[in-house]
Structure 1
Amino acid sequence: MKTAGSPAPLHEAAIDWLVVLRSGEATPDQLHDFDRWLVADPSHARVWDRLTARVDSRLGGLKTPAGGSADTLASTVAQAQIQSRNRRRMLKGTLAVGGLSTATAGLMLDRAMPLAQLFADYRTGTGERQWVTLADGSTIQLDARSAIDILFTPELRLVVLREGALLADVAPANTGGRNRPPFVVRTAQGTVRALGTRFAVRQRDDHTEVAMLLHRVELSPEQGLAHPLDEGQVARMTRQGVTPIDRSAHAASAWQGGLAEMHDQPLADLVAALKPYTRGYWHISPRAAECRVYGSYPLDDPDRTLQLMAETLPLRIRRYTGGWLVRIAMRDES
C-alpha cells in the first residue's frame, strides 16, 4: 500500500533495480536476483517497462550508443547520475520521492543533468562548471548545463556547442614550428573561427552570442556573410547575419568566475543566467522581466541572488514546493 510521501513498494523496487543494474557495477548474483524478480509476477515486468520507457522518452531522437536499446538508454542515465557521491539517493530521489509520477520525475532528473545531452563528449550538470583540455593543448571551460562534441582531424579542429556556453583558450595555429589546422566552434546558427586565442560562445534558443576576449574571431552565419569580431566586442549571430551587442566582452563572459554581471539590462537576462544554476523552475512576469538591473550577482548561490533581487528591486518573489518553483513579479502585481 502506498504511504504518504513515499512511492509504492513495487515502483520502489523497480527504481532500485534501475540504479543497481544500470550502474555498470552489478554482480552476477544481482543479475540473477533481478531475473527472478522480473518473472516472479507479471506486474513486475509491466512496472519495469513503464519506468524504462519513460526514461527513453526523454531521449527520443538523440545520438544514442550503438545498440540504442531501452536498457542501454536507461543504463546511460543511471551511469551519469552514479558519478555523483550520492548516486543512489539522486536517482531514487528524483524518480520516486513524494510519490511523483514518472513523467514529473523525468523533468526533475533533467533539471539535475540535461537528459538531451547525455551522449555529448563533454557535459556539465546544473550548477557545475568544468575545464576540458583538448588534444592540441587548447582549453575549454564549460558553463553549467552545457555540452560539446569534439572532432579533430588533420584538416580541422572542430568543437560543436550543443547547449549552454563555453570559453575557449585556443592553442595557436603556428607555434614552435608546428602548423595546426583551423580551430572552429560550430553552433546551431553558424561557425566561429578562431583568429585569436580567447573567446566565449553561448548558444541561445534562436541565436549565438560571441564575446571576443583576446585578438579576433570570424563569425560565419549559415545564410549570411562572414563578419570579423575584434577584441572587446560582443555580437549576436543568427542564421541570416551578425549584429553587434553593446556590452562588455568581459561582462558577457563573467560566468567563468561564477558571476552574472548586469549593466542596465532587463531582469530577464539575469534570470536566464541563473537558470543553469538552479534545479527548480523560475517563472517571471512580463513586467518584471523588463525591470532594469545593475551589478554583479553570484551564480553559485541562487538563493542569495534572489535575496539581493528582492532587497534592491520592487519585486515580489514567492517560492513553492521547497524552491522547485519560483515566481517573480512586480510588487503591485497580483
Structure 2
Amino acid sequence: MRLPPEGDRNLLSEAAEWLVRLQYEQSGETERQAFQQWHAQSSAHAAAWQKVQQVMQALAPLQGGAGEPAQQALKTLAQDGRGASRRRNLRRLGMLLIAGPSGWLAWRQLPWRQWTADVATATGERRTETLPDGSGLTLNTGSAVNIVFSGSERRLLLVEGEILVTTHADTVAPETGKRPFVVETAHGIVEALGTRFGVRKLDQDSTRVAVFEHAVRVQPWRGAPLILKAGEQARFDRHAVAAPEPADAGSLLWQNGMLLARDQRLDAVITELARYRPGLLICDPAVAHLRVSGSISLDDTDAGLALLADSLPIRVVRRTNHWVTVLPR
C-alpha cells in the first residue's frame, strides 16, 4: 500500500501518536476501539500504521546515551508530564518516528529533558516570550524552561541555560492574595520582588542571579535565604548564597547579539563565544592569558574570532566548521 501525496504527514503523525499511546501508556478497551475505528477509515490509515511499525522495528537495535535502548527513551518521553505536556511530547515523538532511524540518531545526542521543555532555544538562538500573566521571558542560547502557572503561584523551571525575566503585575488575585513569581533551578528558588532579573545555570554545581530592577529573594534548597537588590548579583548552590557582587549591566547585551569584554582573559572570552556556536571551540593555554576589551558579535562568531585575530597575536585554525582552535600566531 502507498500513501497518497496529500495528507502523508498528518496520517503518519496520527499513526505515530497511536503507536506510542498503545505501547507506552495504559490503554483500556475504549481507547483500543477508538484506534480500530481510526485504522479502518481507509487504506491510507492502514498504510501509515504499517509504516510507523516498520520504523519502530528499525529503532529496536539502536542504543541511546549510557546504554539506554531507544525504545526505553521513547517510553520515558511518552510518560513524562501530564495533560498538555504529555500531548506535546506525543506530537514530538510522532515527528521523531516519521523521521526514522536517521532522525533518532541525530536527536538522541540531545538531553531529553531539554528537548521536551515548554520553551527552548538552540545553540546561537535567542527567543522572547510573553508569559500568561504578561511578564516577559527571554531565553539565551541553548536554554530551556518549563512554565508552570497555577492559581496559587507563577513558576518557571530553568532546565538549562540562561533567562532574563521582566515581571508584570499579577492579573489574577486569588483569595490568598497575589501569586508569587518564582524561578526554580537545580540549586534553589529565586523569588521576584517586583523586578527584572537574570538567572543562569553556570554548571551542575551553581546558578548565578543578577538583579537589574528592584530585588529578588534567593533560597537555596538547603541553606539560608538572601535578598539581592538592584545592581547586585551572586552565585548560589544547594547549600548557600555567595557574597553579593556588583551586577554587570553589560552582561545583558546578549539580548542584542553582542558580548562586551572588559579586560577579560582570552580563554574566558572564547569559552563564552563557544556557547553560541555548534561544535568545539578551544583556546590554547599558551594564549589564554591575553587580555581582551571590546564588543564581539554573538550572532556571527566567525566575525568575532576574526576581530580577535586582528587585534591579538593569535590565529584561528579551523580543522572543520565545527572544530576550531585559537592558537599563538
Per the TM superposition, whether the score is higher than 0.5 is: yes
Q: Kindly report which structure 2 residues correspond to 1:80-159, keeping only aligned pairs within 5 A, or say none.
A: 95=102, 105=106, 110=110, 115-159=112-156
For 2:199, the equivalent position in structure 1 comes to 201
For 2:44, the equivalent position in structure 1 comes to 29
| Structure 2: runs of 5+ lacking an equivalent | 1-7, 16-41, 82-87
Aligned-residue CA RMSD (Å): 4.0
Please point out which of 47, 64, 78 is paired with 1:65: 78
For 2:20, the equivalent position in structure 1 comes to none
In structure 1, the residue corresponding to 2:161 is in which secondary structure?
A: strand
Pick which of 199-208 and 115-124 moved more.
115-124
User: Aligned partners of 1:65 and 1:286: how far apart in 2?
Assistant: 45
User: Aligned partners of 1:260 and 1:48: how far apart in 2?
Assistant: 42
Indicate if the aligned counterparts of 1:77 and 1:118 stay in contact, CA closer than 8 A: no
1:224 aligns with 2:213: no
User: Aligned partners of 1:311 and 1:326: how far apart in 2?
Assistant: 17
- Cα drift, residue 145 of structure 1: 1.0
In structure 1, the residue corresponding to 2:78 is in which secondary structure?
A: coil
Q: Kindly report which structure 2 residues correspond to 1:233-248, keeping only aligned pairs within 5 A, or say none.
A: 233-244=232-243, 246=245, 248=247
Please point out which of 69, 89, 92 is paired with 1:76: 92
Indicate if the aligned counterparts of 2:133 and 2:170 stay in contact, CA closer than 8 A: no
For 1:265, the equivalent position in structure 2 comes to 264
State the Cα deviation string for residues 150-199 of structure 1 (Å, max 9, x = none). 11223221111010111101013589999421111111111111113211
User: Aligned partners of 1:148 and 1:21: how far apart in 2?
Assistant: 28
TM-score normalised by structure 1 residue count: 0.70
User: Kindly tell me: are residues 257 and 216 of structure 1, through their superposed partners in 2, closer, same or farther at Cα, counting changes over 3 Å?
Assistant: same
User: Kindly tell me: are residues 28 and 251 of structure 1, through their superposed partners in 2, closer, same or farther at Cα, counting changes over 3 Å?
Assistant: farther
Indicate if the aligned counterparts of 2:195 and 2:211 stay in contact, CA closer than 8 A: no
TM-score normalised by structure 2 residue count: 0.71
Indicate if the aligned counterparts of 2:74 and 2:93 stay in contact, CA closer than 8 A: no
User: Kindly tell me: are residues 223 and 66 of structure 1, through their superposed partners in 2, closer, same or farther at Cα, counting changes over 3 Å?
Assistant: closer
Identity %: 32
In structure 1, the residue corresponding to 2:148 is in which secondary structure?
A: strand
For 2:21, the equivalent position in structure 1 comes to none
Indicate if the aligned counterparts of 1:21 and 1:31 stay in contact, CA closer than 8 A: no
User: Kindly tell me: are residues 173 and 57 of structure 1, through their superposed partners in 2, closer, same or farther at Cα, counting changes over 3 Å?
Assistant: same
Aligned-partner residue type, residue 139 of structure 1: G
Q: Kindly report which structure 2 residues correspond to 1:268-307, keeping only aligned pairs within 5 A, or say none.
A: 268-307=267-306
In structure 1, the residue corresponding to 2:222 is in which secondary structure?
A: coil
Indicate if the aligned counterparts of 1:132 and 1:141 stay in contact, CA closer than 8 A: yes
In structure 2, the residue corresponding to 1:125 is in which secondary structure?
A: coil
Indicate if the aligned counterparts of 1:224 and 1:240 stay in contact, CA closer than 8 A: yes
| Structure 1: runs of 5+ lacking an equivalent | 1-18, 83-87, 97-101
- Cα drift, residue 208 of structure 1: 0.9
User: Aligned partners of 2:249 and 2:187: how far apart in 1?
Assistant: 23
State the Cα deviation string for residues 254-281 of structure 1 (Å, max 9, x = none). 2112111222223333233323321222
Indicate if the aligned counterparts of 2:14 and 2:94 stay in contact, CA closer than 8 A: no
Pick which of 274-283 and 19-28 moved more.
19-28
User: Aligned partners of 1:65 and 1:197: how far apart in 2?
Assistant: 37
Q: Kindly report which structure 2 residues correspond to 1:178-189, keeping only aligned pairs within 5 A, or say none.
A: 179-189=177-187
User: Aligned partners of 2:129 and 2:266: how far apart in 1?
Assistant: 31
User: Kindly tell me: are residues 155 and 74 of structure 1, through their superposed partners in 2, closer, same or farther at Cα, counting changes over 3 Å?
Assistant: closer
For 1:169, the equivalent position in structure 2 comes to 166
Aligned-partner residue type, residue 203 of structure 1: K
Aligned-partner residue type, residue 270 of structure 2: V
User: Kindly tell me: are residues 120 and 308 of structure 1, through their superposed partners in 2, closer, same or farther at Cα, counting changes over 3 Å?
Assistant: same
In structure 2, the residue corresponding to 1:64 is in which secondary structure?
A: helix
Larger Rg: 2
